[in-house]
């Protein structure tokens, strides 16, 4: 059998500068992949809750507010309080 040659006929060894650039590019793409996974998970959660709300009966969406007086309650903070 003949001796195996590399695809382009010469061995290629990247320099330290090229290796650093490739490693930096890989890490940036890996971080972008993680961000895309988190984004997709949040979208999946939001659309999952929307789909779950479609399963609820319409009467559940017309229920009265469980805390009807919550907007009338004011916090007791003195008016002349110096921060």
pLDDT below 50 — which residues of the chain?
none
- Taking the C-alpha atoms of residue 15 and residue 62, their distance in angstroms, rounded to an integer, is 68
First-to-final CA distance of the chain: 86
- Taking the C-alpha atoms of residue 46 and residue 38, their distance in angstroms, rounded to an integer, is 12
pTM: 0.57
Determine phi and psi for 47, rounding to 5 degrees: -70, -30
Q: What is the pLDDT of residue 28?
A: 98
CB 22 within 8 A of CB 14: yes
Structure tokens at 72: 């009338």
């Amino acid at each position: 059998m003949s001796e195996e040659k590399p695809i382009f006929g010469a061995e290629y060894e990247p320099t330290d500068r090229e290796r650093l650039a490739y490693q930096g590019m890989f890490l940036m793409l890996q971080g972008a992949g993680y961000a895309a996974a988190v984004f997709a998970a949040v979208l999946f959660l939001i659309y999952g809750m929307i789909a779950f709300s479609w399963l609820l009966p319409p009467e559940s969406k017309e229920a009265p507010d469980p805390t009807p007086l919550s907007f009338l309650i004011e916090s007791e903070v003195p008016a002349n309080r110096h921060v």
